[in-house]
Amino acid sequence: RLVLTDAGRTLLAYAERITDEYRKLQYEMSLKTDREGGRLRLGASSTIAQYLLPRVLARFTVRFPDVRVSLISGNSQQIEQALARHDIDLGLVESASHHQGLHYMKFVPDELVLVADAAGAYGRCEEVTLDELRRMPLVLREQGSGTLEVIARYLADRGIRLSALRVVMQLGSTESLNSDTVAIVSVMSVFEELRSGKMRVIEIEGCTIERDFSFVRLDGQTDALADRFIEFARNTL
């Protein structure tokens, strides 16, 4: 297999710095002409990319037409890895844990809820206990998902392991929820389905699972264009 030599690793580190500095130069020069420009590479976890960012990006590109924005999506772990590889400039994640070398900034709050198809087997269920939840056929997100991490941590604090649940599927999204299963998802991801009555929330007795969506960047990294996007996004939602 191919690996970098010591000289290659040194060259790569400097090349990454040069690329970062060139992007900053593009941004600073754009300010001299009163038109902000440059390239902004974003990475967002699936829930954020699908349900929050479209509105923000639509308005951002209108406000700053000279900024070239690219976006990759994945689970929170994949976005943090992309940041560490310098594949993106700014990440938006939903994980609860903070990793060394990364700096996290709160974006917006979110809540995870237990939902079911309103016309399905659990459509008339209004509330369950944690013990009853263990026996329900449950759809969860895949390993590496920030949503799964938050759920696992919340349940662990109450003495319940994920392995004790009746997990029938783990998916990259919850769009495959069927009438015979329930799922724990971001309330933002099912807003339209809840409003239309297609899905309903099942309360978990004594439980409220809250979290924050966060911006994340390399620790110590400064980027004026990323800062502008953070400010714009916070003021848009």
Q: What pLDDT score was predicted for residue 33?
A: 56
Q: What pLDDT score was predicted for residue 45?
A: 94
Chain mean pLDDT for the chain: 90
Q: What pLDDT score was predicted for residue 222?
A: 82
- 23: pLDDT confidence band, cut at 50, 70 and 90? confident
Listed in sequence order, the residues at least 6 apart from 6 whose beta carbon sits closer than 8 Å to its beta carbon are none
- 40: pLDDT confidence band, cut at 50, 70 and 90? very high
Q: What pLDDT score was predicted for residue 142?
A: 87
- 35: pLDDT confidence band, cut at 50, 70 and 90? low
Name the 3-class secondary structure at 135.
Answer: coil
Q: What pLDDT score was predicted for residue 174?
A: 56
Q: What pLDDT score was predicted for residue 176?
A: 59
Looking at 74-218, list the stretches that DSSP marks H as alpha helix, in order from N- to C-terminal side: 76-84, 130-133, 146-156, 191-196
Question: In terms of Cα–Cα distance, which of 42, 40, 13, 43 is closest to 24?
Answer: 40
* Res 27 pLDDT > 70: no
Q: What pLDDT score was predicted for residue 175?
A: 61
Burial string for 55-77 (b: 16+ CB within 10 Å, else e) reads ebbeebeeebeebebeeebbbbb
Per-residue pLDDT tens digits for 119-178: 999 999 999 999 999 999 999 988 888 899 999 999 999 999 999 999 998 887 656 567
Name the 3-class secondary structure at 44.
Answer: strand
- How many CB atoms neighbour CB 32 within 10 A? 7
* Res 29 pLDDT > 80: no
- How many CB atoms neighbour CB 35 within 10 A? 11
Per-residue pLDDT tens digits for 59-68: 999 888 889 9
Above pLDDT 90, what percent of the chain? 69
